[in-house]
Structure 1
Amino acid sequence: MRIDSWRYPRPQLAAHYLGLLADAPRRPLAVFGPRQIGKTYFLTHDLTEAAEQQDLRPLYVDLWSQPDPLGAINTALATALRELTSKLQRTPVTRVGAFGLSVGLAAPPALPAGSDPAAWLASQFAELRRLEPQRPVLLMLDEAQTLGKSGAGDAAMKAIRALFNAYPHGLLLLLTGSSRSQLLSLVGDHSKTAFKLAAHMDFPLLGMEFVAFVAERYRAASRREVPLPELDWAFSQLLHRPGEMIDFVRYWITDAPGRDAAEALARFKQVNSPDQLFEEVYAGCTALQRAVLRELVSEAPQLFSKATRERVAAALGLADPVAPASVANAIQQLEAQGILGKVQRGRYAFEDEGFRAWLKSAAAAPGEAR
């Protein structure tokens, strides 16, 4: 197996999460983090490997933009069962080649998908537990905040909760989300049918240890040294997204050798446009919405204060302060677009922390974010 020389493993963090789940198996763990900071890679590699070493059955499901979350979980279970039964069951011979030198094996029959997805989930999970009674399942639901929506999401929540009740020591649940407000609503709202009272915490950003790792890879590939502060600055400009950091350093080595970090990063952004999605979201907002978003970048914005409404008016070229109703309408529209989420009465937060960080960085540059 070829080793990925750019992989930065996080075994201590994986062990920490598994320890929390083992200490309180009846309490799900919810982890928040902006998109593209390495959560998915961590789940599918570090946490999956650590779970297997502890004799857990890892099961990863990506719920991002998933219209049928229960169907996605059922599909992941069906795949796991298929692989497991292929290993455990002696399958019938369907053909024998000349002189008995080759055989064809029929795949074991899969559990039929019933008309009731919740019942099918229960049936599949029961079969998995029957085949591996001593191996608890670690169910990792990525972008789980989508379950907070009514309809299909609520049905999936109820079905998973039923599994918790039926298998108190057979199911460990880890939820991740890129929307803090939606994830907290899912795990902290006592009126929800499922994941209330879950432990929740932030997914830690990679720091100087990762930067030092990248610096070593840069040195090994280019035989040149790069000051750690320069790389750390570039990492912050890329919003602490490890995948883009690695892409940038590879570009620096091959396409911008000899350039300093600032010039290499500027060239990289021109070619790869890592912030294009944020730019498109921002460009799609009205002038009033953009002004409100810029106010929200500050640490403790008073959105409806006269001073704030005067600044918004100045940004729009108006003489009089913007009316409170106009600010409220802009916020409601940004909520409907999934850009903002309500934290509590009168307080709002960016659904994508990466977008907030990009906007703050862009606003600090002359002539940007206007």
Structure 2
Amino acid sequence: MSNITKDPLYYPRTELAERLVVSLKDGISHALTLFAPRRMGKTQFLLQDIKPLAEKMGFHVCYFSFMDTFISGDNQAQGTDIQQAFCQALSTFLTKTVQVKLNKALGKIKTVEIAGMVGVGLDNGKLPVQTSPSRLLQEIAETSQKPVLMLFDEIQELARIKGMQALVKSLRTGLDMYQSKIKVIFTGSSTNGLRTMFNDSKAPFFHFAHALNFPNLGRDFTDFLADIYQQRVGKGLDKTVFFTIFQRLNYTPLYMRTITQNLIIDPELSLEQAVQKTLDEIGFQNENVQQWQQLSELERQILRLIAQGKSALYSQDTRQQLANLLGVEQISSSTIQGKMRKLERADLITRGVGDELKINQPQFQTWLIENKI
């Protein structure tokens, strides 16, 4: 029996999980990419919905987050850390989940003449071996008696960090060669990073996976939380108002869960007090203040306009409006373009359908609007 305590505030996305896992199991697709900004519940969906369902349907499941891996400030060191952690995770999965002896599984791996080799530390006292994602995936595919599902969280980090080309190519090679046995779900929180990974015709993962937007939760989610509040506290919430707050906070599940926790722990709080307490508690203000302080005044004004839904930033009227705000005579289109590129590289803005400009992270837009920055 599992010792994991069920999260009473977790709202399962059972239908979505079933659709994706069945599509992979039946061979409709071998690779999927789910996009949503940070704090929208992708990781919980992978671990609490996809993983148990896939295991129930006969998969061995391996999860790895490229965002959570410990990395140092130096870009080259980041690459080394990620490569070592990733290959160690694959070798651990090969040993424990596929249930084979380490010596038997890795004993055949000698000097591997393939790009992307990194050292993987072993726990059995033997010297490290040289291996690569493609070779580890080969061993997993050939050893496992069940189909395998790889869950790779925040894959865009491989596009952000320099020196990852060999690792990415090796990963693509392994997933390509064994796609009949190994299925994969990627997630990403950066539209710009995912485009670099999957939409660039020169990229190793060009058109490798079927891209899906991770859908926002709807009123059924906030009604679910309101019902739990009523069960625990014995009094109800206005469900329409509660859902309106969810919309106001850019459909971010984390905020609504925390608001519900605060209301249950302190029933004397009003709903608006719980909202403000949550925004303070989560600590996103400090994170966003740090980003904000690193921007020029023109960059801040551009972000304010985008947060308000304005996209015609190159028009004469908008440029004059910005010039007046900054106390200068005029601002050229090329200056706006340069600032936009900088904001895109920093993942603060992105382009949606029809090239519509958007703040890339809902929590950052929430901060801009709620604090009237």
Deviations 1:228-260 (A, max 9, x none): 0122133234432323322221212323x2443
Q: Which residue of 1 aligns with 2:20?
A: 17
Give the Cα separation in 1 of the matches to 2:23 and 2:163: 29
Q: Structure 1: how far apart are the matches of 2:68 and 2:93?
A: 22
Identity %: 23
Distance across 1 between alignment mates of 2:123 and 2:161: 36
For 1:144, the equivalent position in structure 2 comes to: 155
Tell me how far 1:83 sits from its aligned partner: 1.8
Equivalent in the alignment of 1:236: 247
Aligned equivalent of 2:90: 77
Distance in 2 between residues matched to 1:344 and 1:207, nearest whole Å: 21
2:287 aligned partner, one-letter code: L
Match of 2:278 among 268, 273, 276: 268
What SS does the aligned partner of 2:39 have? coil
Conserved? CA contact 2:36–2:189, under 8 Å: yes
- Structure-2 change in CA distance of 1:229 and 1:342 (3 Å): closer
Given that 1:29 and 1:199 are in contact with CA atoms closer than 8 Å, whether structure 2 keeps it comes out as yes
What is the match of residue 40 of structure 1? 43
CA contact (8 A) 1:62 1:143 kept: yes
> Residue 164 of structure 2 aligns to a residue in which SS?
helix
Normalised to the residue count of structure 2, the TM-score between the two structures is: 0.80
Per-residue deviation, 1:311: 1.5
Shift in alpha-carbon separation, 1:357–1:153, aligned structure 2, 3 A: farther
**1:223 Cα deviation after fit:** 0.7
Q: Secondary structure at the match of 2:61?
A: strand
**Counterpart among 325, 350, 361 of residue 352 in structure 1:** 361
Residue identity in the other structure for 1:326: T
Q: In the comparison of the two structures, how many residue pairs are matched?
A: 342
Please tell me the residue identity of whatever aligns with 2:32: L
Deviates most, 152-161 or 219-228: 152-161
Q: Using a 3 Å threshold, how does the CA distance of structure 1 residues 9 and 166 change in structure 2: closer, same or farther?
A: same
Residues 133-159 of structure 1, C-alpha deviations (whole Å, 9 max, x = no match): 3x1221111111122247433222211
2:119 maps to none
- 1:194, distance to aligned residue in structure 2 (A): 2.4
Whether the aligned pair in 1 keeps the contact of 2:54 and 2:61 (CA below 8 Å) is yes
> Structure 1 residue 22: deviation in Å?
3.5
Decide whether aligned partners of structure 1 residues 71 and 342 sit closer, same or farther in structure 2, where only a CA change above 3 A counts: farther
Trace 1:1-370 onto structure 2 (pairs within 5 A): 1=3, 2-24=5-27, 27-64=30-67, 66=69, 67-68=78-79, 69-84=82-97, 109=124, 113-115=128-130, 117-118=131-132, 121-133=133-145, 135-149=146-160, 151-255=162-266, 257-299=267-309, 301-318=311-328, 320-341=329-350, 349-359=358-368, 361-362=369-370, 368-369=372-373
**Structure 2 counterpart of 1:17, one-letter code:** L
Change (3 A) 1:304 1:89: closer
- Unaligned 5+ segments in structure 1 are 92-106
Deviations 1:254-306 (A, max 9, x none): 23x24431233223334444444233322331211101112223546122211
**Distance in 2, Cα, partners of 1:110 & 1:42:** 37
- Farther off after superposition, 148-157 or 28-37: 148-157
Q: 1:298 to 1:7 in 2, by over 3 A?
A: closer
Q: Deviations over 1:306-341 (max 9, x none)?
A: 1110111222234x3322233233224324434235
**Is the CA contact 1:138–1:171 (under 8 Å) kept in the aligned structure 2?**
yes
- Determine if contact 2:250/2:362 at 8 Å carries over to the other structure: no
Tell me which amino acid in the other structure corresponds to 1:323. Answer: S
Letter in 2 for 1:220: Q
Instruction: Give the structure-1-normalised TM-score.
Output: 0.81
Q: Is the Cα contact below 8 Å between 2:30 and 2:209 reproduced in 1?
A: yes
Rounded Cα–Cα distance in structure 2 between residues aligned with 1:59 and 1:111: 24
The whole-number CA distance in structure 1 between the counterparts of 2:331 and 2:181 is 56
The Cα shift of 1:17 comes to 1.3
* Matched-pair contact (CA < 8 Å) for 1:28–1:199: yes
Measured on the aligned residues, the alpha-carbon RMSD in Å equals 3.1
Deviation track 1:48-92 (CA, whole Å, cap 9, x = no partner) reads: 11110111111111111753343332122122133247x56699x
